[in-house]
């Protein structure tokens, strides 16, 4: 297994050089770890798709240091982009805009738009500055696996295909960025994420939601299986129901992990409590690690309590529903 690199001046310089030379670098953002490549170098970007086993029509998010750098990759910057960038960048928001001609097809999955984000994580910002180029970076997992929130998760998934793994410790938000398309007249939310939808709607009014029912998914990533652990996930409206289901499975000799809010009394080693069900942040931060650890510890089932479906909780619930799909 490759080693993680400390994100000190030497580590950042090494990672920036690797990016300039067309190699892959894993780095922390405030949401999840990303696997990055020089966004304007098609050969470098191709390595991301190979390392992840990612379908070629699923476009990447391009990370830039500031609004000026973002604008250079677009043709057209609507007032809504100004409002959102001013309010939420740097931070966990991705904007989809008409792309400039020099953004390669492979980066955008052949679409006429480009997804842009200015991350707030200090290490991501230092890396953008040192490399001095836009960094295309999807989450640093194998396609279909939960996003990595710890460096060891990225190393386990991507191994030797990455030149440098910058270790920034566990990421603090834990869910990916919220993706909003501003390429059409009507702003559309393509993916719920760490920035609650309500915060965006305070500025723009109601957002259109893109659903699976739409003829052509505007966000190609939506049609692929996501966030799935090997264990079967079971969603339950109450802690008592989740606990009863876990007990029934164990009575049949199955290994079942119980996950509930801290309102529920602790039942021992096969029971995890991320926090109160009203603390969506605590659930968001630990969700993907919980799914990965459940697999590593050999659980066949995860019986999990649902949390209120609003604000950040709606993004947590979106990931839980997707992870429960078979």
315 binds ligand TXA (CB under 6 A): no
Contacting residue, 38, 47, 71, 117, with ligand TXA by CB under 6 A: 117
Measured from the CB atom, the residue of 139 and 164 that comes closer to Mg ion is 139
**Residue 104 and residue 106: Cα distance in Å, rounded?**
5
What residues between 241 and 300 interact with ligand TXA by CB under 6 A? none
Neighbouring residues of 262: CB distance < 8 A, sequence distance ≥ 6: 273, 274, 275, 276
Q: Least distance in Å: CB of 57 to Mg ion?
A: 14
The residue from 22, 42, 78, 220 that contacts ligand TXA (CB under 6 A) is 220
Check binding of 176 to ligand TXA (CB under 6 A). yes
The single residue listed with the structure tokens 């939601």 is: 209
Q: Which is nearer to ligand TXA, 34 or 274 (CB)?
A: 34
Q: Which stretch binds ligand TXA (CB under 6 A): 12-20, 58-66, 73-81, 83-91?
A: 58-66
Measured at the CA of 141, the angle between CA 324 and CA 161, to 5 degrees, comes to 155
CB under 6 A: which stretch of 134-142, 151-159, 230-238, 312-320 binds ligand TXA? 134-142
Residue 139 engages Mg ion in binding (rule: CB under 5 A): yes
What SS3 class is residue 234? strand
Q: Is 218 in the site for ligand TXA (CB under 6 A)?
A: yes
Please pick, from the candidates 16, 123, 135, 139, the single residue that binds ligand TXA as defined by CB under 6 A: 139
CA–CA dist 227, 325 (Å, integer): 10
**Is residue 120 at the binding interface for ligand TXA, with CB under 6 A as the rule?**
no
Tokens of 247: 């007990």
Could you report how far apart the first and last alpha carbons of the chain are, in Å? 31
Residue 192 interacting with ligand TXA (CB under 6 A) = no
What's the min distance (Å) between Cβ of 227 and Mg ion? 8
Select the residue interacting with ligand TXA from 108, 143, 188, 277 (CB under 6 A).
108
If the CB atoms of residues 46 and 255 are measured against Mg ion, the closer one turns out to be 46
- The binding site for ligand TXA (CB under 6 A) comprises 29, 31-32, 34, 58-61, 92, 94, 96, 108, 111, 113-115, 117, 137-139, 176-177, 179, 190-191, 218-221
- The binding site for Mg ion (CB under 5 A) comprises 139
């Amino acid at each position: 297994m490759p080693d993680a690199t400390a994100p000190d001046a030497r580590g950042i310089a090494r990672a920036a050089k690797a990016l300039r030379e067309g190699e892959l670098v894993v780095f922390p953002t405030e949401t999840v770890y990303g696997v990055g490549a020089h966004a304007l170098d098609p050969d470098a970007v191709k390595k991301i798709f190979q390392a992840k086993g990612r379908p070629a029509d699923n476009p990447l998010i391009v990370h830039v240091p500031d609004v000026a750098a973002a604008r250079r990759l677009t043709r057209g910057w609507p007032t809504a982009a100004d409002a959102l960038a001013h309010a939420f960048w740097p931070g966990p928001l991705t904007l989809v805009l008409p792309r400039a001609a020099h953004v390669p097809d492979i980066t955008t999955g052949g679409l006429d738009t480009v997804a842009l984000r200015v991350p707030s994580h200090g290490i991501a910002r230092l890396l953008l500055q040192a490399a001095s180029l836009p960094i295309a970076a999807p989450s640093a997992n194998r396609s279909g696996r939960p996003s990595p929130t710890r460096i060891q998760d990225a190393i386990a998934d991507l191994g030797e295909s990455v030149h440098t793994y910058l270790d920034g410790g566990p990421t603090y938000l834990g869910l990916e960025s919220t993706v909003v398309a501003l390429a059409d007249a009507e702003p559309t939310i393509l993916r719920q994420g760490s920035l609650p939808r309500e915060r965006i709607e305070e500025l723009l009014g109601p957002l259109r939601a893109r659903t699976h029912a739409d003829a052509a998914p505007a966000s190609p990533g939506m049609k692929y299986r996501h966030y799935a652990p090997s264990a079967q996930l079971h969603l339950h409206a109450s802690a008592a129901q989740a606990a009863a289901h876990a007990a029934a499975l164990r009575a049949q000799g199955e290994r079942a992990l119980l996950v509930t809010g801290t309102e529920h009394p602790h039942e021992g080693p096969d029971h995890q409590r991320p926090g109160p069900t009203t603390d969506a942040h605590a659930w968001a931060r630990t969700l993907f690690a919980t799914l990965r650890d459940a697999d590593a510890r050999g659980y066949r089932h995860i019986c999990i309590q649902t949390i209120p479906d609003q604000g950040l909780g709606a993004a947590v619930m979106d990931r839980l529903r997707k992870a429960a799909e078979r």
